Amino acid sequence: MRILVTGGCGFIGSAVVRHLIRTTGHHVLNVDSMTYAASSETVAEVASSDRYSFAQVDITDGAALRTLFETFKPDAVMHLAAESHVDRSIDGPGIFIQTNVTGTYTLLEAARAWWMTLDARKRDQFRFHHISTDEVFGALDLNDPPFTETTPYDPRSPYSASKAASDHLVRAWHHTYGMPTFVTNTTNNYGIWHFPEKLIPLVTINAIEGKELPVYGQGENIRDWLFVEDHAEALVLAVERGQPGETYAIGARQPKTNLEVVKTICAVLDELAPDANGPRERLIRYVTDRPGHDFRYEIDPSHAETSLGWKASHDFTAGIRRTVQWYLDNRTWWEGIRSRRYTGQRLGQVSAPATAKEAV
């Protein structure tokens, strides 16, 4: 297959690109506008492959996208490009609407224009795979059953609302135009190359540096954690096996409170790199909760496991160990990011970073 991947220099997108080049014979065109959270280093190990190519294009640029479709001639699209940080969406929702809603619409139209040029067999085989989040389903109480593919939408933040809108667009293009689209919704991912503003890398790096570990409220909020390489494997199986009009909820069955996550990171780091000043749990600080902080997310991945022949292979402790070790071994990458002031919209555009928002 020839697969056009959007957002392939981001956290999950780069894991998908690496997995495609490492383990399949597919050809990949990585389309990324290189926002603050993107890094070419994430795909450096596969960049020399003759099956890999890159285009720095914004998904809101319809003309540029149409040119890419005409020249690359994809058999499938894997759409991962998105603004994804909830705290940033609270402070500045506009870019989330522009990228996640307008960008998805623009990409859908470019894909549809290309799809319409294909012969009947190729049109039937084409796939538009939209990668989304479980946050579109709202929040769960402690005893509620996990989210499934049929859970009603109830987004609670500008980020999740923008992703919900994009999901609806993708499904509408299938039902209205017959375009072979489908959606996957996933829970929280973690792993290597994760941008330092997110929960697990933020805590890991702060703990390495002996800085405070800010935790929202009492750390009781619950998330279902999926190792990013397991997710990448599931997404590639989905683009190969997924059926038009379907939804696949992808999760690891590993819910943890935020405080459990922080304490696990501290324990693993204390083992791998002991601190002369004592156990890292001493660094935990409880801070005022953020607005509209959803209590719990958790996915029941039974349908995806059965339909795709996939199951997450990393348990949480093993995944955290690999992640913490990677951040210990790759200080140059995250120290370079930490030394920049990084709220600009594109590489090279910078302004003051958020500080109070850097909490779990």
209 a catalytic residue: no
134 a catalytic residue: yes
The number of residues in the chain equals 360
Is the separation of the CB atoms in 193 and 39 below 8 Å? Answer: yes
The answer to whether the Cα torsion of 283, 287, 292, 295 is positive or negative is positive
248 a catalytic residue: no
3-state secondary structure of 27: strand
CA dist 62 and 72 (Å) reads: 15
The string of DSSP letters for 109-151 reads HHHHHHHTTS-HHHHHH-EEEEEEEGGGG----TTSPPB-TTP
Beta-bridge partners for 131: 184
Catalytic member of 83, 87, 134, 233: 134
Residue 326 DSSP one-character state: H
**Alpha helical stretches, state H, the chain:** 11-23, 62-72, 86-91, 94-96, 103-115, 120-125, 158-177, 199-208, 228-241, 258-272, 302-308, 316-329, 331-339
CA dist 237 and 153 (Å) reads: 25
Catalytic member of 36, 52, 105, 159: 159
CA dist 139 and 154 (Å) reads: 8
Catalytic member of 58, 83, 135, 224: 135
CA dist 354 and 100 (Å) reads: 22
Which amino acids are annotated catalytic? 134-135, 159
